[in-house]
Amino acid sequence: MLGTVDGKANRSDRGNGMSETYALDRAAANATGTAPGGGEATRSRGGRLVSLDAYRGFIMTMLAASGFGIHRFASLPEDAPVWESQSRVFWEQLGFYFEHPDWSSRFGLTGVSFWDLIQPAFMFMVGVAMPFSYARREATGQNRWRRLAHALRRAIVLVLLGVFLYSQGSERTNWIFPNVLAQIGLGYFFAYLLLGRRQWVQWSALGGILIGYGLFVAQYAPPEGYDFAAVNASADRGEVYTGKFAPWSKNGNAAHAFDVWFLNLLRNPSDEDLAAVGATRDAESWAPDLVRQWFFDNPQAFAFNSGGYQTLNFIPSIGTTLLGILCGQLLLMRRKPWRTAGILLGWAAGCLVLGLLADEFFCPIVKRIWTPSWVLFSGAYVISLLAAFYVLFDIFPLRKLAFPLTVVGMNSIAIYLMGQLIGGWTKSKVVSIHLTGVLQTLFGADALADDMYGRLIMPTATFIVFWLMLYWMHRQRYYVRI
């Protein structure tokens, strides 16, 4: 999934439709002494695991299309003319699943917002791809130290790319790390160190990470009289806990306190601004003045993240990536297909039960601060989704239906960057200028209005433009890797 920018591949590969996943699969098979495509119905013709590309493509499609505008459409006021022909109740119910809840990520017994699962699925798929990627590197002759260096370089690039994307619109580099790429990068190298270990070691590491982080947060208590309203936290929205879960409140937890200290080391605010957010300049000399002037001269003190997201989220999220590694290793073992699907569903059921127990006795299920219970709870969903894609596209004869998704999944970094960097430009300079006539012919002269169907049609049309660009790249064998 991740890598440097590839040029045009050998043209001999174009006719047989070989993708990166097939290349990984073939090389991994060589590395394990198994012939490509040699697992009954576990591989499509040519040995490619279609489910991996399709899963990535599905998640990146949702991200790049901004959920096809469903939440924004459902948020139209009651007097919008579109509700004369549409059920507002239906769209409000659907729209809930395309937005992050205020704080707690669980409703009912096992309910969850689909939008909360996007980032866990992204990080999980990074883990699933890792056994294939590094088996290929080993099979092509890379020694242990080269693979280790590659993992470290990839982690650094992902963090820097995440900071770059988060700094768009800022006057200075904004050294803050809640962006999904930065979170993946911060945990990637540590996850890599667990790759290829014995399965009991990996499961033990998963438990150790979740329990250790949970105990670290649980020992923290905010100062007496702490003003939650000043950090955009409200008890009315369920963001401030009392009792045993109090340490997991929004912007009143150990990870928030760490960010107030750490992120202000990467800035250059005045002493007065630092004092206002409860930070000090006790580590002023950590970097030479010239380095601070070049890279860390943001004059605005960090006070809090309005959404409650924290840098240290990357620690429990290593657990999400590790679940992906475990599933990737399972797929690489080439068991009988239905047995593989059954094991995946068994692991999902185990994660669900453990997540619900953790939510009851250990910590609440909150995606925004990636609580250990959230790792397990969301893990149940993302593993189940992988099992579903595996059954549909690698066991059942439905692979051709996955093609639109695989085009996206094979260039997931490219589509992510498109959505982050040129989404607005594509909508205003391509769709609005060149495609308005086509869209009005298809959907009606007034359909593109903001209070009609514009909030659905415009992001969908923008994504179609992206997909056509990716299809051209696919045909030319251009893939963006790190």
**Over the stretch 74-117, which tens digit does the pLDDT of each residue have?**
999 999 999 999 999 999 999 999 999 999 999 999 999 999 99
> pLDDT (tens digit, 9 = 90+) per residue, 354-399?
999 999 999 999 999 999 999 999 999 999 999 999 999 999 999 9
Instruction: Tell which wins on pLDDT, 297 or 455.
Output: 455
One domain for residues 384 and 284: no
Q: Is the pTM of this model over 0.85?
A: yes
State whether residue 393 is helix, strand or coil: helix
Q: What is the DSSP letter of 8?
A: P
User: What whole-number distance in Å separates Cα of residue 271 and Cα of residue 142?
Assistant: 50
One domain for residues 295 and 329: no
Tally of domains within the chain: 2
One domain for residues 99 and 163: yes
Check: CB of residue 73 under 8 Å from CB of residue 456: yes
pLDDT at res. 284: 58
Mean pLDDT, range 60-80, rounded to an integer: 95
One domain for residues 286 and 317: no
Q: Decide which of 301, 322, 344 is a domain's last residue.
A: 301
Whether residue 262 is contained in a domain is answered as no
Mean pLDDT, range 140-165, rounded to an integer: 94
pLDDT at res. 270: 83
Nearest alpha-carbon partner for 459 in 66, 95, 62, 63: 66
One domain for residues 140 and 112: yes
Over its C-alpha atoms, the chain yields an Rg (Å, rounded) of 23
- Which residues span the domain enclosing 285? 268-301
SS3 of the chain: helix, strand, coil, percent, to 5:
65, 0, 35
> pLDDT (tens digit, 9 = 90+) per residue, 217-276?
999 998 888 999 999 999 999 999 999 999 999 999 999 999 999 999 898 888 888 888
Whether residue 388 is contained in a domain is answered as yes
One domain for residues 294 and 346: no
Residue 417 CB-density burial (10 A; 0-12 exposed, 13-18 middle, 19+ buried): middle
pLDDT at res. 285: 63
State yes or no: pLDDT of 25 exceeds 70.
no
Whether residue 255 is contained in a domain is answered as no
Check: CB of residue 328 under 8 Å from CB of residue 128: yes
Distances (CA, A) of 190 to 155, 208, 379: 9, 13, 19
Residue type, 464: I
Mean pLDDT, range 3-22, rounded to an integer: 38
Task: Give bridge partners of residue 107 from the DSSP assignment.
Answer: 111
Residue 277's pLDDT band (cuts 50, 70, 90): confident
Whether residue 165 is contained in a domain is answered as yes
Nearest alpha-carbon partner for 53 in 350, 331, 330: 331
State yes or no: pLDDT of 22 exceeds 60.
no
Nearest alpha-carbon partner for 4 in 26, 18, 17, 20: 20
DSSP assignment of 35-57, as one string? Answer: -TT-STTSS-TTS--HHHHHHHH
One domain for residues 114 and 141: yes
pLDDT at res. 9: 39
The overall longest dimension of the chain from CA atoms, in Å, is 69
Q: Decide which of 301, 320, 355 is a domain's last residue.
A: 301
Whether residue 307 is contained in a domain is answered as no
One domain for residues 145 and 276: no
User: What whole-number distance in Å separates Cα of residue 206 and Cα of residue 327?
Assistant: 13
